[in-house]
Structure 1
């Protein structure tokens, strides 16, 4: 670019020199335009820049000679380059001619080959057609062979497999079940063959499969029966083959039910023998286990004896159920599915279309297994109930039986014969309990006597309350639902408490008041103390409170009467009963006999003598009441009522004195001598209500 710039500068200087040297005023317009175009050209134009770059590459010096030959040199160079291009295109033309010749030769060769192929095809066409026909026939034969092999493999049982399925000497193992499953599938798939035009093959195969299945199920049935005779349910690992056999046999409900019946009979005998062994230490085979402690030898207490038998029965039932669960329902609903399929094979074996309930069937089977134990349990518990007359023991037995009955409902359901046995035993124990209590009450009433001088509760009530306490504790720890606890225990309270309280009330009638009321209160308070700590007998406590309130009111009346009569206030109150609150009636009070000066003075003296020891004397009346606090409350209530009565008398006396003074003032006799004035009643009966309350507080 530096050279180009130099060349441009030189060209500009040369042009300036020419313009200066020429003094001709007239210039050619063409030259002027050319020069203007050259001078006005922008060096930023890409074409000019490329031209200048080309000149710079040639290293041409800017001289007059060079400028004159520049165009010729450039044209010469262009001509030379165009000649080189033409020469190269000549070589390309020669190559194209040779390629065309080669293509013509190839075309002729291909045409010859096409003619040979056409001729060969015409000659080999019959052979190819025959070969194609043979290939089609070969494919048909191969297809038929594959179908025949598949048919034989699927629908035909080999002699060896058939021997495993039906042979009595062959073992029942996984191979047996695999073959049994295959034969069942063949029987089902034979139904497809019945849909073809030729049904004979399908009928023959179904008949053969049905016979094989029946023989196989008979073999399985006999094998299960044999295994059940030696099956040990106490083993933690029961053979999986037996479980699988039961699930397979469920597809024949008749055979399955027959196996269950045989199994139930065997298990009933085993459990019954085990129960007798637990009781006595020896079984039917005279085998004695030195490691076990016989229940009849070690359970001396009747309640423990019954509890141990029930506990053993519960433990055996739980173990039996767990073992049978692993046999019958541990693998899901396969037995139920088998029964569903069995209804189609044996529609006569099931009376309804209800789905098989594994849990329900398990409960029924366990119930049948423990039926013998239930009979033995009933016999022994009934012996215990009939041979004892302890009411608490009988109720504890009944409650214990009820506890286990609730427990067995969760294991066996509500329709179990064992639950019926327990219900009958519980009712028998309660019936015997009622009989014993009734006999005790009858014996007590036959020897009915008056209360003791100290008015304490009788011994039979103390004993009855002790029994009731034991009954309450037993019932409180029972499993009776909260909603029915009150109603269920109400009959027990009526039988164990009410007759004894009624007897105490009859005894109270043999003595006078207040001893009768105090004796009854002592008995009721003792009963209330026993009942008050249990929420399910609060209704009975409320009844006792109502009865006690009536007796306490009677004792309060007695104490009030004691205050009135001993204090001498009773004649005054009796005389004032007919006086009305009007002046005409009040003015008659001084004319009444108790309000004459001498009787009123005597009454005042009697009151003064009474007040110092009034409370002590009143408390002495209730000293035989066992609850000292209650005696104090009764006495305090009576004293308060006495104070109210005194207020009434005092008010009447004050009103009379006020009326008499008013009458004197109105008559104008205020200045008469003092001894001629009427004597105020208050001066004759000077005590005030404030003083009375202080002395009786």
Structure 2
């Protein structure tokens, strides 16, 4: 680009003015654009300087002449311009089309430019002169030249929007400021040009770098080619063969090196992680992207085993060492992430990240050290949390809820509240643990691989956590059980323990858990307290029995009280048995039956069979020696067992029907009663026979042939041998039987019934015994009379006087109906 000086725009005719001589400033003239269509213009009216270049030479030594010549030229220029303004546009038809869309010729008419610039200022006129010279001297016939000029002008126009910030007015001013602006414009343009050159050179930098990198190889190839081609002494065929082989050998080596390079790159990609992945392991949070890197590390670890098949296993050892360090870092980070998540989840946050938590836990199960440590940490924290919550319910300082300890006056409610509190804690903890640690329906593939450690993890954790409640719960319930004396309350506590034990088991608390074991222990303690209660009751009964009056032969007071307590307890126990159905576990049913048998044996069988028998024997020590004492003994025994049977009979289809042992206990009581009734019947029959005088003859006839087996007349023949016995003589019989029979028989029925009804508590048993005794007496009297008539056929009248009651009369007197 050509940079122009101020002198370029000078209006002087002398071209030899030096650059260091500044021209004198020219007074700026104001021109008005005049149109010939409106008014005529004279030369004097427009005092413009002439911009036409004069051919006359200016003399620097004659300034006055120079000033006069300039004024003359200006006048000439104005005259010419006024003349040109009067011409029409048709007289100056364009000879060619310029790229600016204006009419121009090979030598553009300067007068037209002047006419178009009539509205310009002085500085614009100076610039228009230079532009006119450029356009007049520029070849516009060539398309490339026209395009180049157009682009240059567009460039100048676009420079207004660039960082150069051109000030056109200052650039074209003829004063000193304009000179400085044009010099600065030169510097700015050179700076911009240098910047463009630097940009172009930077684009060539990669190409130069690559050329330099390949230059050594190219020089080697050139040296080899120069050493081969110019040597005319080598045979051309041998040279070609030799070098072809060398080329093939080198090419084969090159292929091997390429293959090794590809293999090493593949191994690198397969057995290493890049810096980004390492940064993810070290610094990024545990998320899906983190586990993608973890999966890659696990894949590398699985594939690293093939490196040990190499002759040198150092690479595999080094890789595994580094992988183990990376794995430790990953496990430690996951361990910390799980602890953070557990804390935040406990506060109600991060509930949407449960799948990521389970995935992290499943991965951590590969490292049993961190895995077990995390489970211990969870167990410790959760155990402390639920224990504090449980103990807070016994704190009297809590204001927002009623403490459980305030219900201690009601043992059943207190124990129920304690167990209900424990169950609520277990239920809440089961929901918490099941939400986080249940992998039953997990879609995580890692959970399937570590099924041994993850399946049932929620149940395992739940059992470990609730262990902390075992001792606290046991202490508070055991205090109530051990100080409670009522068997009914203790049994209700047993029912609560059984109920909540079943509820705990349904919440997946194992039977071996200390919490459930302690409930079983408390069940045993309460059961022992029940048995102990009845044992104490029997001991107190024994002490009162020694000082009690037993002359009425009724059941003793202690027995009535004891039976009432037993019946009350069995009624409560019967209600509990109605809740046991076939759906329960067989083992639980067997255990319940064993407990029932133990209770029946200790509170029913032993007191009523052993203890009562000892009390009766101590009350009637001479019962075996004296029949009257024996009668009283049997009377009291009948009354006792009748009372026991009557009160326990209502449980025959419930409690005593559950097991064979319980049935046998009730059957033994019934047998004791039956035996006592039989003994009483035999004893009362014996007394009747003795009071009527028929006892000796009853024994005598039964010795010959049993009375009960006499059926027809032939049976009476068995008694003919009695004729030789002196006791069977009619006078002897009269003296032994007649008076006693006639004296006692009319009052026998009244005497027996009054004694039995007065002493026996059961009228049914008394009536049964009375009927039996008189039936025996009537049957013997009839048989005895027939025998006497049969063996003494000639003395039937005498027999009738001795046994003066007919059979019907005798039956009527003793109250026997046919």
> With structure 2 as the length reference, what TM-score do the two structures score?
0.56
Q: Which residue of 1 aligns with 2:666?
A: 541
Query: Residue 428 of structure 1: which of 525, 528, 540 is its match?
Result: 525
Q: Which residue of 2 aligns with 1:259?
A: 374
Structure 1 stretch 150-159 or stretch 685-694: which is displaced more? 685-694
* Larger RCO, structure (CA 8 Å, separation 6 or more): 1
Cα deviation, residue 140, structure 1: 7.7
Query: Residue 278 of structure 2: which of 138, 162, 165 is its match?
Result: 162
Q: Does the CA-based 8 Å contact 2:482-2:529 persist in structure 1?
A: yes
Q: Does the CA-based 8 Å contact 2:719-2:791 persist in structure 1?
A: no
Asked if 1:521 corresponds to 2:620, the answer is no
Query: Residue 585 of structure 1: which of 718, 722, 733 is its match?
Result: 722
Q: Does the CA-based 8 Å contact 2:756-2:766 persist in structure 1?
A: no
SS of alignment partner, residue 549 of structure 2:
coil
Query: Residue 190 of structure 1: which of 287, 304, 320 is its match?
Result: 304
Q: Which residue of 2 aligns with 1:380?
A: 476
SS of alignment partner, residue 346 of structure 2:
coil
Q: Which residue of 1 aligns with 2:186?
A: none
**5 Å matches for 1:560-639?**
560-565=685-690, 569-570=694-695, 573=698, 581-586=718-723, 588-589=726-727, 591=729, 595-596=733-734, 600-603=737-740, 605-606=742-743, 609-610=746-747, 613=749, 617-618=752-753, 621-622=756-757, 625-639=760-774
Structure 1 residues 200 and 320: CA distance shift in structure 2, 3 A: same
**5 Å matches for 1:153-552?**
153-167=269-283, 170-196=284-310, 199=313, 201-232=315-346, 239-280=354-395, 289-290=400-401, 294-297=403-406, 301-331=410-440, 356=452, 362-405=458-501, 408=504, 411-448=508-545, 449-451=548-550, 453=552, 455=554, 458-474=560-576, 477=579, 481-498=588-605, 500-501=607-608, 504-505=612-613, 508=616, 510=619, 512-533=632-653, 534=655, 535-536=657-658, 537-552=662-677
Q: Does the CA-based 8 Å contact 2:447-2:454 persist in structure 1?
A: no
Q: Deviations over 1:386-423 (max 9, x none)?
A: 22111222233345434544665563434322233223
Q: Does the CA-based 8 Å contact 2:719-2:787 persist in structure 1?
A: no
Q: Which structure: larger Rg?
A: 2
Structure 1 residues 160 and 685: CA distance shift in structure 2, 3 A: same
CA distance in 2: counterparts of 1:572 and 1:324, whole angstroms: 92
SS of alignment partner, residue 301 of structure 2:
helix
CA distance in 2: counterparts of 1:329 and 1:400, whole angstroms: 30
Structure 1 residues 458 and 693: CA distance shift in structure 2, 3 A: same
Structure 1 residues 289 and 242: CA distance shift in structure 2, 3 A: farther
Structure 1 residues 369 and 148: CA distance shift in structure 2, 3 A: same
CA distance in 1: counterparts of 2:601 and 2:465, whole angstroms: 40
CA distance in 2: counterparts of 1:584 and 1:454, whole angstroms: 46
The total of aligned residue pairs comes to 533
SS of alignment partner, residue 680 of structure 1:
helix
Structure 1 residues 381 and 214: CA distance shift in structure 2, 3 A: same
Unaligned runs of 5+ in 2: 1-243, 621-631, 706-717
Cα deviation, residue 521, structure 1: 2.5
Q: CA RMSD in A?
A: 4.4
Unaligned runs of 5+ in 1: 1-127, 342-354, 662-677
Q: Deviations over 1:242-271 (max 9, x none)?
A: 221111111110111111111111111111
Q: Deviations over 1:552-590 (max 9, x none)?
A: 112222432454355554465367678785535326455
CA distance in 1: counterparts of 2:578 and 2:565, whole angstroms: 20
SS of alignment partner, residue 285 of structure 2:
coil
